[in-house]
Structure 1
Amino acid sequence: MSPRAIFRRSSLLSGRRARVAVVAAGVSASVVLGAGAALAAEAAKSTDTLTVSSAASLGASVKAQAAAVEKAVTAEKAAATKVTAAKAAEDTWVTPVAKYTLGATFGRAGALWTNNHSGQDFVVPTGTSVRAVHDGVVVKAGPNGGGDGPAYGNAIVIKHDDGSYTQYAHLSDIRAWIGETVKTGEEIALSGSTGNSTGPHLHFEGRSTPDYGSAYDTGRYMKDRGIRY
């Protein structure tokens, strides 16, 4: 083979090798670029998943905090309601009998009394439930007016937290005794007609001391405590 032919063949082979190298390089580049794109897509997907997951967790956390706040507010309102109810109960006064007809009023004069009438009569049948008009402690209880005299028959006197006293007289049955603490509306006796009485009724007094002779104007005494009858 001539030197010229040998040179030509060598050049052709070199060209082929160059083209093969270029193609190979292109394929490698494509593979590398494809892998990079795949990794980038996977990373983006992971990021999206993380973002959605984080948002869901944050939403759940916010809801939990809101529920906790609502629960705390509800508990606080309930506690405030209980305090209000307890305070209202402390301030509550009631009439000494639930149903009645009014009899002789405070200060009434007449032959039935040595002095003017010292309380308010509530006309009710014998055996009617008599209740404490307010929280207090029994300081007198028994026959002979609990110590105030036979005219009152069986009687009870209660001391209240405002420093005043109430008396319940002409009772047929006593159901609370000296030293006992009673609550507003609690049954303490049954009405009757014992002592100096013209018929079944409850004699009721508001007093400044536990003893006879210290009675207030009974109507005003109860009105000042929110009770009208």
Structure 2
Amino acid sequence: MSRTSRRISPSVLRTRSAVLAAGLGASMVLGAGAAFAAETGVAAAAPTAPVQATTASAVAAQAQAQSKAATAAKAAVAEQAAAKKVAAKKTAAKKAAAKSASGWTKPVTQYVVSATYGKGGAMWASNHSGQDFAVPTGTPVKSVGPGVVVKAGPNGAGDGPAYGNAVVVKHDSDTYSQYAHLSRVDVKVGQQVSGGQQIALSGNTGNSSGPHLHFEIRTTPNYGSAINPVAHLRSEGVTI
């Protein structure tokens, strides 16, 4: 068998050498650039758009979290306020129930205080012995507490004409309540009454300068033993 040899022309060899040289040169240039960057500490420029987008998202997330926290705090404050109102209503209801259970109340529902206990002046021989409630004639007058009627009728029910028509009720606390200047008396001596029960109608009888209820708290059924009626009612849970 004969061996055939191929010869490469000089021109082809020159072309291949040129291509290799060009590739080697490009690699050397790129390697030098990378080395230079590493030595000088100059980093290659990175795209800024993704970083900016990430920062904006973080700020938006933080703002949303703060908004939610503020809303939650506001709701908590409102809830606490509502709870306090409910508690206040319950407390008021308990107090009202306690007053109702005690059987004590005001002698008239709507009024204007026209003269207070202990007040001095030409209207009275001595300091005022009771509490005056200015009300129209015919206003229902109620017993301030449970008890028994011990005086009832004209002439101050025995205390003198200055009181006009009057009623006196004895209570279990060894005190007496007196109601004067009445236009009508609705109870009789010996009658049991409950707190809040109507016993008369207000008027302008006796030594009176206008329609009103004269109210006293006494230590005896008779004139001259009056004590501060507002203080006593307060001790029974009633505020004037």
For Structure 1 versus Structure 2, the TM-score category normalised by the shorter chain is: 0.5 to 0.7
Aligned 1:71-220 pairs, distance under 5 A:
89-220=100-231
CA contact (8 A) 2:117 2:228 kept: yes
CA contact (8 A) 1:153 1:170 kept: yes
Secondary structure of the residue aligned to 1:156 is strand
Change (3 A) 1:176 1:108: same
Identical pairs, percent? 57
Per-residue CA shift, 1:66-107, capped at 9, x if unaligned?
A: xxxxxxxxxxxxxxxxxxxx9865513100001111110000
Q: In the aligned structure 1, how far is the partner of 2:148 from the partner of 2:198?
A: 13
Cα-Cα RMSD:
1.6
TM-score norm. by structure 1 comes to 0.61
- Structure 2 unaligned regions, length at least 5: 1-96
Aligned 1:25-64 pairs, distance under 5 A:
none
Stretches (4+) displaced over 2 A: 86-90
Q: Determine the structure 1 residue equivalent to 2:67.
A: none
Secondary structure of the residue aligned to 1:227 is coil
Larger CA deviation: 139-148 vs 91-100: 91-100
Secondary structure of the residue aligned to 1:103 is strand
Change (3 A) 1:88 1:170: closer
Secondary structure of the residue aligned to 1:112 is coil
Shift, 1:151, TM fit: 0.4
Change (3 A) 1:90 1:179: farther
CA contact (8 A) 2:136 2:211 kept: yes
Secondary structure of the residue aligned to 1:146 is helix
Q: Determine the structure 2 residue equivalent to 1:14.
A: none
TM-score norm. by structure 2 comes to 0.58
Q: In the aligned structure 1, how far is the partner of 2:172 from the partner of 2:178?
A: 15
Larger CA deviation: 86-95 vs 123-132: 86-95
Q: In the aligned structure 2, how far is the partner of 1:105 from the partner of 1:138?
A: 25
Q: In the aligned structure 2, how far is the partner of 1:135 from the partner of 1:178?
A: 14
Q: In the aligned structure 1, how far is the partner of 2:156 from the partner of 2:99?
A: 32
Q: In the aligned structure 1, how far is the partner of 2:180 from the partner of 2:193?
A: 17
Q: Determine the structure 2 residue equivalent to 1:223.
A: 234
Q: In the aligned structure 1, how far is the partner of 2:147 from the partner of 2:161?
A: 24
